[in-house]
Amino acid sequence: MKLKKLFILLLIFIGGASLIGCEDSNLIQIGILQYLEHNALSEARRGFIDGLAEADFVDGKNIKIKVYNPETDAPTMALQAKKLVRSSDLILAIATPAASAVVNEAKERGKNIPILFTAVTDPVDAKLIESNEHPGGNVTGTNDMNPIPEQISLVKELVPNATKLGIIYTGSEPNSEVQAGIAKIEAEKIGLQVTVKTIESINDLQQVANQLAAAVDVLYIPTDNAIAGAMGIINEIVRQKKIPAIVGEPNNVDAGGSITYGVDYYNLGKETALMAIKILRDKVSPKDIPSTGLSEYSLVINKKQLDLIGVAVPQELLDKADKIIE
Amino acid sequence: MEVIFYILQDAVEIGLIWSLMTLGIFISFRVLEFADLTAEGAVTLGSAISVALLLNNVPPLVATIIALIGGFVAGAITGLLHTKLKIPAILAGIISMTGLYSINLRIMGKASIYVGDNSTIYSFFQTLIEEPFMAKTLTTIIVVVLIFLILYCFFGTEIGMSIRATGMNQKMARAQGINTDIMIILGLAIANALIALSGALSAQSDKSANMDIGKGTIVIGLASIILGEVIFGKRTFKNWLISVILGSVIYQALVGIAIALGLNPNDLKLLQAILIAFILAMPLIKKKQAKRSSRKEVVNHA
């Protein structure tokens, strides 16, 4: 008895699903798979949709945008990737796991739809594309790698007579390690003497950072999950030792860092939309569109803190800053 | 009609992979009556081990079996924490799960790793069969049937019966001369071995492993079990095992329908919660209805 009712319920569900599932085939179907609800990722999505609209690809008019979000749930993401690969003319995958799911699914089904990714730090390492210049398959997109050279160049702009740079990160975070390595090379290129220190956890951050700060002119902290949660400690050290701290991403400036160039995810999404437009309007194949990062980064300055420690911010930096904390 | 076909096809493909995890949850939560939270770490462990080994050119079958052994050890540790150190069940699971986080990160070296074009356990049939769905699902079906047969036979042996007895009534089991400590350790080890196996298959199917894969598995597992029980029953142990496997497929079908209905993606979690609450309440609703109908019968007879 109960069983029958349940099945009837199921049938009604499926019936409804098939009704709504019917898609208007005149419109270009654009599928978006966003790994989870997260400020940066949602900004990228907004930027992509707005970017399309600016080129007159408007949702409901000539394109139909479908957004899926598995909230990191693995089986749900697999289901959504399948559905998108089956029914889309172009897919945008936001964040690496989503990109990996979509690319893998399309490859397995032998589907040749163009796939774009955004907010992926290292698409080559994630095996999404063969190289940034020549993506290879039907996949290309934008990465959100920090502009480390630009960030390091801030050292001389802020403290012209600086000679020593201290880099600090959590030893167990491979992502931070990679960035610290690049930062060291970049700093040595402009003639800085670099000291690198690692911490095990935020418990030894205060000690290590204090020692380091006493021996250098400027601190550099890459994006680092552990330290990001303890920016208050860095803020204290900056104020005590009176040396600025360049951080890996804009959020960490708000939380106690001094200054940085960062990735604006809205602009990143817009840049990805330009690729979509090339594919949809100019019929360029994704394999001929190099995968890039942003060409222009946003500058965030914690002027309040820098004033307090007596570092004068050059007017030209203030002029081009996207955000100044007074 | 096409939509329905695809919903079912996807549900079979994904539901069967996760049915192994559901069987693991079934053994710890249902057979042993042990609320084991190791599961969330064990899924990730299985996927981490298998992908890390594949990247080092270990044959897929060997990588998958080592992942299974990894889960076995993790479950055994939870069992040891509970039985030998007298740590409450939930805490023992939390301790293992917490420890596994670091271990998984160590195994992978970073938050996510990708198989790329290295061969996986699915490659064998994928080179033989052209149709993508069958090519993939055949491997899963073979594994699930094999595991089903092993479990069915095992829980019929003296040791298997002892595990079931331990779960039903620990004091009584001990009175019968069963070493309940060993049975709990063994039961949890088997449960987490299956859960890790499920993680290994899922990772090879998705060609990637990441730290988030274990999130929410217990909820999915429990919902699948209850869904299976309500629809397909639990008259005999064999029937019960089959119900659990099919329950996982039905659960994924329901998620598939929710997706096809175009529900706001952010509401999907709430829908899952409502679905699970509804399913959990099913036995009670059933009982009440049975009472009402029997009362009606009495009235009719009068």
Q: Establish, for the pair of chains A and B, how many residue pairs have beta carbons separated by less than 8 Å.
A: 118
Q: Are residues A88 and A115 in the same domain?
A: yes
| Residues whose CB is less than 8 angstroms from the CB of residue B289 and which lie 6 or more positions away in sequence, other chains included | A2
Considering only the beta carbons, identify the residue of A37, A76, A101 that sits closest to B206: A101
Domains identified in chain A, total number: 2
Between the CA atoms of A244, A248, A251 and A252, what dihedral angle is there, to the nearest 10 degrees? -40
Pairing mode, strands A164-170 and A218-221: parallel
| A178 and A310 part of one domain | yes
Number of domains in chain B: 1
Q: Which residue has the tokens 């096409």?
A: B2
Give yes or no: residues A127 and A155 share one domain: no
Contact between chains at B268 and A172 (C-beta distance less than 8 A)? no
Residue B180 lies in a domain: yes
Instruction: Tell me: do A105 and A186 sit in the same domain.
Output: no
Closest partner CB to A79 (pick from B105, B136, B252): B252
Looking at the structure, tell me whether residues A130 and A274 fall in a common domain: yes
Same domain, A65 and A92: yes
Task: Residue B257: list chain A partners with CB under 8 A.
Answer: 13-14, 17
Average pLDDT over residues A315-324: 91
Contact B3 A18 (CB under 8 A): yes
Please check whether residue B293 lies inside any domain of the structure.
no
Nearest to B286 by CA among A5, A10, A7, A8: A5
The pLDDT value recorded for residue A137 is 87
Domain boundaries, position B6:
2-215
* Position A69 pLDDT exceeds 70: yes
B163 within a domain of the structure (yes/no) = yes
A68 touches chain B (CB under 8 A): yes
Asked if A8 is an interface residue toward chain B (Cβ–Cβ < 8 A), one would say no
- Chain B: residue nearest A68 by CA? B265
Could you tell me the two tokens for B8? 């079912």
Rounded to whole angstroms, how far apart are CA atoms B100 and B88? 18
Residue of B1, B2, B3, B122 to mutate when probing chain A, most A C-beta within 10 A: B3
A98 & A47 share domain: yes
Q: Is residue A15 part of a domain?
A: no
Say yes or no: A104 contacts chain B, CB-CB below 8 A. yes
Q: By residue range, what is the domain housing residue A205?
A: 148-262+298-325
A110 touches chain B (CB under 8 A): yes
Q: Test A21 with B10 for CB contact under 8 angstroms.
A: no
Supply the CATH number for residue A167's domain.
Answer: 3.40.50.2300
Q: CA-nearest residue of chain A to B213?
A: A74
| Residue A103 within any structural domain of the chain | yes
Provide the edge-to-edge strand list for the sheet that holds A323-325.
A193-199, A164-170, A218-221, A245-247, A259-262, A298-302, A323-325
Q: How far apart are the first and last CA of chain B?
A: 49
Residues A17, B116: C-beta atoms closer than 8 Å: no
B266: which chain A residues are within 8 Å (Cβ-Cβ)?
37, 69, 71
Q: Say whether both A242 and A272 belong to one domain.
A: no
Residue A275 clears pLDDT 90, i.e. is over it: yes
Same domain, A41 and A188: no
Judged by CB atoms closer than 8 Å, whether chains meet at A127 and B117 is answered as yes
B250 CB-side CA count, 13 A: 24
Which among A170-174, A187-191, B36-40, B69-73 has the top mean pLDDT? Answer: B69-73
ipTM of the complex: 0.83
Which chain A residue is nearest to residue B248, measuring alpha carbons?
A: A75
Q: Which residue of A has its CA nearest to B199?
A: A74
Q: Give the pTM.
A: 0.82
Query: Does A126 contact B at CB distance below 8 Å?
Result: yes
User: Is the same domain home to A190 and A310?
Assistant: yes
**Nearest residue of chain B to residue A126 (CA atoms):** B114
CB B42 within 8 A of CB B199: yes
Whether residue A163 has pLDDT greater than 70: yes
Does A37 sit within 8 Å of B132, measured CB to CB? no
Q: Are B61 and B216 in contact (CB under 8 A)?
A: no
Task: Please answer yes or no on whether B265 and A101 come within 8 Å at the CB atom.
Answer: no
Q: What is the pLDDT of residues A215-258, one digit of tens each?
A: 999 999 998 888 988 899 999 999 999 999 999 888 889 888 99
Residues of chain B with pLDDT under 50: none
pLDDT at site B300: 61
Which of A21, A69, A109 minimises the CB distance to B132? A109
Distance from CA of A255 to the nearest CA of B (A): 24
Say whether A108 and B132 touch across the interface (CB within 8 A): yes
pLDDT digits (tens, 9 = 90+) for B156-215: 999 999 999 999 999 999 999 999 999 999 999 999 999 999 999 999 999 999 888 888
- For A248, other C-beta atoms within 10 Å of its C-beta total 27
Residue A16: inside a domain: no
| Closest-CA distance of chain A to residue B110, Å | 6
Question: A108: which chain B residues are within 8 Å (Cβ-Cβ)?
Answer: 126, 132, 136
Q: Two tokens at A322?
A: 């996207």
On whether the CB atoms of residues A259 and A246 are closer than 8 A, the answer is: yes
